[in-house]
Amino acid sequence: MSGESIAATTRRTFRGGLATMRAELQIAAQYRANMLVWGFAGVLQVVVYLAVWRAVATESGGTSGGYTPGAFAGYFLVLLIVREMTYTWIPYDFPDFVRLGKLAPMMLRPLHPLVSIGVRMAAYRVQSTLMIVPAAAVLFWVFDAEVHTSAGAVVAAAALVPLAALLRSLCDSLLAMSALWLVRIDGLRGVYYLLLLFLGGQFAPLGVLPPTLQVVARALPFYWMLGYPVELAIGRAPVSDAWIGLGVLAAWIVVTFAAVQPVWRRGARAYEAVGQ
């Protein structure tokens, strides 16, 4: 592909993405009640983990893995916000589109189906995050959360969140595209979410895990796209090492993006062959 055609494709994708974003923002605004329900479910899950680890710290003499009950509250409530800003439904939406025959017409549009789904998720995240932040602020007060951070740490974490969201979208897309070959991907999806739960920092901060699991977590992308931005934001990860997180995120983005393209081409051929 020539440089000119690449530039034209990029411009077309950008314009199509902006148009889709505007439309999806309007659609999302009409479903705020649904957002409240989904948001409540997400808050409830985090509060359960928060309560469990606060109890563990209290029973352990006031700390567990270097976290006090208040520090656990601070970690999980910042996690609630970061998770909301990076979460996607791609592993659920894309397989449904394949199964219900909705993918074929999407493949005829100028905007790539995965980009279209990703933009729709971004529109949802903008509005859902605006709902989650006030809830997290109230819970900070309710649970007497402690966060010992700095403006530099918060800025560095905020700068990494878009990269974390992109990496999450790419990883979710790789998982979702297995639906182009498999009738059901429930098992794969379950394993993926378990890895994200335990190695990504959703169930517990990385510091309370056994050393071996900490090494495994740092070797995989899950921690970097969720747990690391949280630890950076609350001052648990040194701001001076933020460039390491930036480099790791960038490296994983390159790897996953390079994998998405051939997987999509082969999967699309398999999907079209079955359709014919």
Residue 10 has pLDDT above 80, yes or no: no
Express each pLDDT in 115-159 by its tens digit: 888 888 887 888 888 888 999 999 999 999 999 999 999 999 999
Domain range list for the chain? 3-275
Mean pLDDT of the 8-16 span: 53
pLDDT at 18 over 80: no
Evaluate if residue 215 carries a pLDDT over 70: yes
pLDDT tens-digit readout, 201-213: 999 999 999 999 9
Q: DSSP readout, the chain?
A: --HHHHHHHHHHHHHHHHHHHHHHHHHHHTTHHHHHHHHHHHHHHHHHHHHHHHHHHHHTTS-BTTB-HHHHHHHHHHHHHHHHHH---HHHHHHHHHHTT-HHHHHTSSS-HHHHHHHHHHHHHHHHHHHHHHHHHHHHHHTT------HHHHHHHHHHHHHHHHHHHHHHHHHHGGGGT-S--HHHHHHHHHHHHHHTTSSS-GGGS-HHHHHHHHHSHHHHTTHHHHHHHTTSS-GGGHHHHHHHHHHHHHHHHHHHHHHHHHHHHHHHHHH-
